[in-house]
Structure 1
Amino acid sequence: MKSKAYLIIGVCLILARAVQAQTAFSPETIAGHRSFTYNHNLTLSLTEKIGLTNISWFDADYRNSANHIYFIRSGLSYRLEEAWRFDAGVGMKNPGSFATVSLGYQRFREVFSFSCTAGATYQAGWTMEPVLWAAWTPKLSSAQHLYLSLFVTGNIDKEAVQRGIQQVRLGLTQGQISYGLAANFDQFNDFTNTLYNLGFFLKGTF
């Protein structure tokens, strides 16, 4: 699984160099009470409208390997309007491979940023996959901003919530680096299996 993930990330980086694409890279690590987590969001802007994306997430439980969580998605993003975009991608996540399409709306401002998407994912059956992300970053001083973010998503079919994720961050931003407190909550199989991880995060935006 790790070798496939490194291959996908490597191909994205090689493509970025080959076409001299504008690259946005946002890695984050979390040292929590249950697990250590690494995730990143990589975007390669090929033109003003077209981009390649890679989102990767690895959550390693300290005590129980059965609770390891992984998510890798690579795809194509097309900007329809200033704030609207269409995304299509393929990837791997617990318990296997998947394909997804979605329509999203996003707004980025100096103090408040917001994005939401609605789409469909196929992984041994179709599910609806809504996603909500919001961040509030008011200025505290000439060098620091407050950083408060919320991320919520899930996979829902007509019978149950197959997968749920909620993530909260509260900390400070100095330049391109954010750090502070993190809380992740994960639900599986209509809430029959739940996990959470509380700890400290360190995030870069490049």
Structure 2
Amino acid sequence: MRAFFIKYIVQNTLIGFTILQSISASAGGESQLQFSQENFVGNRSNNYQHIIGAKISEKLWFSSFAYLDSDYSTKENLYNIRNTISYDLVKSWSSILAFGFKNPGLYTTGSLQLGKKYNAFSYLLQTGATYQKSWTSESFATALYAPKITNNLTAFFKATLSLNMNSKGITRALQQFRAGIKNKQLVYGWASNFDQFNYNKKTLTNHGLFLRINY
């Protein structure tokens, strides 16, 4: 099963990268192509994620996200393949349309996003709705604090929170925390993930070391 998802993620990455390269080429000088990948070796599982993004125009963005969490003992996999189109509405506000495949199947999401950037601090807030067999409200937040230590080194503190709810309660939630050092294109340090499923009937935690590479 793990091999299947690795193959699926690799295929999706190659397809997404090819599409975004084509978009970047057709958009000419306005385009910006970015790629970031992270591997997290924890006490419970090995966790891999990456994101490929392209600025198509001054207002339009496209990104492709892949996530795989492989448990050492149960061989269960958490996965998420998500493709997102973002359109800038007014200053700091964007509309989001996303579609993808994650446990337990296909989904689509529509939301509004607020993003702010300061010298060493930035954050994103999203709120909207997701359909995956049934409707849920979806909230997402991420905050990054990266103050300079020296000319080459930057401290790195990041928190990511996601929550899906319906009339009965919380169907899915996750919290991810990263603390480390950024040295040019490399980011490395301590990572912690917390996952909750099915109205908190099932919970997972994972703690360990992560390495992220930004291109």
TM-score strictly above 0.5: yes
Q: Distance in 2 between matches of 1:18 and 1:170?
A: 35
Question: SS of 2:90's equivalent?
Answer: coil
* Structure 1 partner of 2:135: 126
**TM-score normalised by L of structure 2:** 0.91
Does the 8 Å contact 1:79/1:85 carry over to 2? yes
**TM-score normalised by L of structure 1:** 0.94
Q: Distance in 2 between matches of 1:8 and 1:31?
A: 23
* Structure 1 partner of 2:17: 13
Does the 8 Å contact 1:75/1:90 carry over to 2? yes
Does the 8 Å contact 2:97/2:110 carry over to 1? yes
Q: Which whole-Å deviations, capped at 9, do the CAs of 1:131-182 have from their partners, x for residues lacking one?
A: 0100111111121111111100111111110001001111111112111000
* Structure 1 partner of 2:158: 149
Please, which moves more after superposition, 121-130 or 81-90? 81-90
1:46 aligns with 2:47: no
Q: Distance in 1 between matches of 2:65 and 2:111?
A: 15
Root-mean-square deviation (Å): 1.3
Question: SS of 1:138's equivalent?
Answer: coil
Does the 8 Å contact 1:41/1:56 carry over to 2? yes
Q: Distance in 2 between matches of 1:124 and 1:130?
A: 18
- Paired letter, 1:25: F
Does the 8 Å contact 1:16/1:22 carry over to 2? no
Q: Distance in 1 between matches of 2:64 and 2:117?
A: 20
Q: Distance in 1 between matches of 2:118 and 2:16?
A: 28
Q: Which whole-Å deviations, capped at 9, do the CAs of 1:66-120 have from their partners, x for residues lacking one?
A: 3x21011112111112311111121111111111111101112331011110010
Residue from 184, 194, 212 that aligns with 1:203: 212
C-alpha displacement at 1:26, in angstroms? 1.6
Q: Distance in 2 between matches of 1:77 and 1:26?
A: 18
Q: Could you tell me which runs of 5 or more consecutive residues in structure 2 were left unpaired when the two chains were aligned.
A: 26-30
C-alpha displacement at 1:41, in angstroms? 1.9
Q: Distance in 2 between matches of 1:88 and 1:138?
A: 32
Count of residue pairs the alignment pairs up: 205
Question: SS of 1:80's equivalent?
Answer: strand
Please, which moves more after superposition, 10-19 or 168-177? 10-19
* Structure 2 partner of 1:82: 91
Please, which moves more after superposition, 184-193 or 103-112? 103-112
1:30 aligns with 2:40: yes
C-alpha displacement at 1:10, in angstroms? 2.1
Q: Distance in 2 between matches of 1:36 and 1:128?
A: 29
Q: Could you tell me which runs of 5 or more consecutive residues in structure 1 were left unpaired when the two chains were aligned.
A: none
Question: SS of 1:165's equivalent?
Answer: strand
Determine what percentage of the aligned residue pairs are the same residue: 31
